[in-house]
Amino acid sequence: MKKATAFSLAIALTGAAFITSCNNNQTTTEKMETKAGITKAAWGNTDGKDVFLYTLTNAKGVQVKISNYGATVTSWVSPDKNNKPSSIVLGFDSLSGYLAKPPYFGAVVGRYGNRIAKGKFKIDNTQYTLATNNGSNALHGGLKGFDKQVWDASTENDSTASLLLSYTSKDGEEGYPGNLKVTVRYTLTNDNELKIEYNATTDKPTVLNLTNHSYFNLTGDVSNSILDETLMIDADNYTPVDTTLIPTGEIKPVKGTPFDFTKAKKIGLEIGAVSGGYDHNFVLNKKDSSLQKIAALKDSISGRTLEVFTTQPGVQFYTGNFLDGTISTPGAKKINQHAALCLETQHFPDSPNQPKFPTTLLLPGEQFHSVTVYKLSVN
Ligand code: GLA
């Protein structure tokens, strides 16, 4: 009995410490955090540029923190079914955590999120070569992708919980052609939706695949595995991959395979039959580029549900297979394998080399636009 009490106390204290440490980021703006809107606090400096942490608060008191370093979502604190607040995403409470290069925690990845085979692609017979930073392939924009850049930020109106981030990726940066102007707007609505709008233009033909790389654990506690959470993905097909996670080019039905999430099921149910765990692109059933619900994640411990809506044709479902306990949370808990999962809305991996996949080519004069919404509720 005594032991159980001490244990519960430890858990309670850890939770409190985490929330406190979140608040510590905002000591200068604490008073304003209680009302809906956006506040800004200094968060350090890198590459000779100032880094800030923005706190978006909605009318329900839910808070999302975002840094202009990597356009990164660092926390999303909401109450669970017992009214206990915790963050549903992996993140750090200081810039140093991100400068240590965690695997894309909460960041916007680009210019090309996911893999390009051998780091090579052609546009109009011109061959482009990227750094190979993932075995023989290019991953998530290269050695210094958008997740490691300091973005410009503007808040427009501090009574709206909305943050506009912009970044210009120079012609030739990481091997990609064309000066690419990118903006990402994050908005936290009063319905507990985090809306992410991406826009981009280029002055030369280029390829583009932008996504957010948040790692979710709806329990708010990384000691609970996400294998016990329940997932639905509205996808009858997926893109099988080779051993280096490059699509073979086939589009295969999920029916009768461990990839069938068309009806909600526990993530851990069939993961044992998937070599290395889930790290696959699902071909969404949606037939056009309108904003539609494509996935729902549920957790019984916290009572939380996360619904995902997107305009994009695919989603990379990744079960945190490479997390291995070497990184810890601000509350000093080890982040082990399957401690969190990603639902990265996107175009398909290696599209520049796969003529049958939806195109990721962006031409001068065109406007790239996509929207993804993560909607949180509790029952
Ligand atoms: C993506 C990839 C994974 C892995 C993670 C980062 O989700 O698909 O294979 O590289 O990013 O660790």
Distance between CA atoms of residues 16 and 214, nearest Å:
23
pLDDT of residue 34: 60
Mean pLDDT of 294-323: 98
Q: Answer whether 323 contacts ligand 1 (Cβ < 6 A).
A: no
Q: Whose CA is nearest to atom 6 of ligand 1?
A: 103
CB of 343 closer than 8 Å to CB of 46: no
Does position 22 have pLDDT exceeding 70, yes or no? no
Mean pLDDT of 220-236: 98
Does position 4 have pLDDT exceeding 50, yes or no? no
pLDDT of residue 127: 98
Percent above pLDDT 70 for the chain:
91
Q: Is the dihedral of CA 349, 354, 355, 361 positive or negative?
A: positive
pLDDT digits 0-9 by tens, 347-369? 999 999 999 999 999 999 999 99
The Å distance, Cα 103 to ligand 1 centre, comes to 7
Q: pLDDT class for 160, splitting at 50, 70, 90?
A: confident
Does position 301 have pLDDT exceeding 50, yes or no? yes
Closest CA to 50 of 25, 69, 27, 28: 69
The Å distance, Cα 2 to ligand 1 centre, comes to 43
pLDDT of residue 15: 29
Q: Answer whether 348 contacts ligand 1 (Cβ < 6 A).
A: no
CB of 278 closer than 8 Å to CB of 340: no
pLDDT digits 0-9 by tens, 190-203? 999 999 999 999 99
Q: What is the 3-state secondary structure (H, E, C) of 19-69?
A: HHHHHHCCHHHHHHHHCCEEEEEEEEEECCEEEEEEEEECCCCCEEEEECE
Q: Whose CA is nearest to atom 9 of ligand 1?
A: 279
Mean pLDDT of 269-288: 97
Ligand 1 pocket mutation, candidates 109, 342, 350, criterion most atoms within 8 A of CB: 342
User: Distance between terminal CA atoms of the chain?
Assistant: 30
pLDDT of residue 6: 28
Q: Whose CA is nearest to atom 12 of ligand 1?
A: 103
Q: Answer whether 350 contacts ligand 1 (Cβ < 6 A).
A: no
pLDDT of residue 25: 34
User: Of all residues in the chain, what percent are helix, strand and coil, respectively (each to 5)?
Assistant: 15, 40, 45
The minimum-distance atom of ligand 1 relative to the CA of 139 is: 10
pLDDT of residue 113: 98
Distance between CA atoms of residues 279 and 46, nearest Å:
32
Closest CA to 307 of 373, 224, 211, 215: 373
Instruction: Name the residues annotated as catalytic.
Output: 213, 344
Does position 217 have pLDDT exceeding 80, yes or no? yes
pLDDT digits 0-9 by tens, 87-124? 999 999 999 999 999 999 999 999 999 999 999 999 99
> Strand 120-123 vs strand 237-239: parallel, antiparallel, or unpaired?
unpaired
The Å distance, Cα 245 to ligand 1 centre, comes to 10
pLDDT of residue 23: 33
Q: For residue 298, which amino acid is it?
A: K
DSSP state, residue 97: H
The Å distance, Cα 256 to ligand 1 centre, comes to 25
Ligand 1 pocket mutation, candidates 105, 245, 322, criterion most atoms within 8 A of CB: 322
DSSP state, residue 91: -
Does position 9 have pLDDT exceeding 50, yes or no? no
Q: Answer whether 103 contacts ligand 1 (Cβ < 6 A).
A: yes
Is 343 strand, coil or helix? strand
Does position 375 have pLDDT exceeding 60, yes or no? yes
pLDDT of residue 219: 98
Q: Please report how many Cα atoms fall inside a 13 Å half-sphere around the Cα of residue 135, on the Cβ side.
A: 8
Q: Answer whether 104 contacts ligand 1 (Cβ < 6 A).
A: yes
Q: Whose CA is nearest to atom 5 of ligand 1?
A: 103
Mean pLDDT of 229-234: 98
Which of 128-142, 156-170, 175-189 is least confident?
156-170
DSSP state, residue 173: G
The Å distance, Cα 323 to ligand 1 centre, comes to 10
The minimum-distance atom of ligand 1 relative to the CA of 134 is: 10
Give me Rg for the CA atoms of the chain. Answer: 20
Place of tokens 């390009």: 116
Q: Answer whether 139 contacts ligand 1 (Cβ < 6 A).
A: yes
Beta bridge partners, 247, equal 241
- Does the model's pTM come out above 0.85? yes
The Å distance, Cα 62 to ligand 1 centre, comes to 28
pLDDT of residue 21: 32
Percent above pLDDT 90 for the chain:
89
pLDDT of residue 3: 31
Q: Answer whether 343 contacts ligand 1 (Cβ < 6 A).
A: no
pLDDT of residue 18: 32
Q: Answer whether 318 contacts ligand 1 (Cβ < 6 A).
A: yes
Mean pLDDT of 296-310: 98
Q: What is the mean pLDDT of the chain?
A: 91
Does position 30 have pLDDT exceeding 80, yes or no? no
The Å distance, Cα 40 to ligand 1 centre, comes to 30
